[in-house]
């Protein structure tokens, strides 16, 4: 279960820190909004950022843009990124990511099977998975201080 897999949750004042043991990220396969299939385990050896979001979540738009900036900056260092879309109808999600210029795959979690395994506490939820496939960090909506902490954590994972 993922509850034991999340090492840290950081973010704004409304997102408390949790202490738990890291654990393996459960594998999944989902179809992206563009129709392509993606599997988490295809990215062993890379750091993977998973962003759980929905079109009804206003704060999610900022995190979609932030993850695009991170992906653009750190892809060459081994960062892969996925959006996990929780909308039942993906049309609005596609419209949002197209407008925001998100260049990473948006995976449609129809029926929320992956969300049921990962159990994001709130949206947006960003998970960082290390090169060995272990969930090491989780973040809610980030303020400036939370973003600095997340960047330090991300860089440490990329350096491992």
Write the pLDDT tens digit of every residue in 121-147: 899 999 999 999 999 999 999 999 999
In the chain, what are the domains?
Answer: 2-159 (3.40.30.10)
Quote the CA–CA distance of 141 and 59 in Å, as a whole number: 7
Identify the sign of the CA torsion 87, 103, 63, 107: positive
The pLDDT, as a whole number, for residue 155 is 98
Is residue 61 within 8 Å of 134, Cβ to Cβ?
Answer: no
Question: Tens digit of pLDDT for each residue in 22-78?
Answer: 789 999 999 999 999 999 999 999 999 999 999 999 999 999 999 999 999 999 999
Bond prior to 151 in cis (omega within 30° of 0): no
Say yes or no to pLDDT of 21 above 60: no
Quick one: tokens of 81? 């990124």
Task: Kindly report, residue by residue over 74-131, the tens digit of the pLDDT.
Answer: 999 999 999 999 999 999 999 999 999 999 999 999 999 999 999 998 999 999 999 9
CA distances for 66 relative to 2, 92, 122, 133, 140, angstroms: 24, 19, 17, 22, 13
Give the rounded distance of the alpha carbon of 32 from its chain centre: 14
């Amino acid at each position: 279960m993922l509850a034991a897999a999340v090492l840290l949750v950081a973010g704004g004042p409304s997102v408390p820190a949790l202490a738990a043991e890291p654990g393996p990220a459960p594998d999944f396969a989902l179809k992206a909004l563009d129709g392509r299939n993606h599997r988490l385990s295809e990215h062993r050896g890379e750091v993977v950022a998973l962003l759980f979001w929905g079109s009804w979540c206003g704060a999610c738009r900022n995190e979609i843009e932030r993850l695009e900036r991170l992906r653009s900056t750190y892809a060459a260092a081994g960062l892969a990124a996925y959006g996990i879309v929780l909308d039942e109808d993906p049309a609005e999600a596609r419209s949002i990511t197209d407008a925001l210029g998100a260049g990473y795959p948006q995976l449609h979690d129809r029926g929320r099977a992956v969300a049921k395994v990962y159990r994001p506490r709130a949206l947006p939820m960003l998970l960082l998975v290390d090169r060995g496939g272990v969930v090491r960090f989780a973040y809610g909506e980030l303020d400036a201080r939370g973003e600095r902490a997340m960047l330090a954590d991300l860089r440490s994972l990329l350096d491992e």
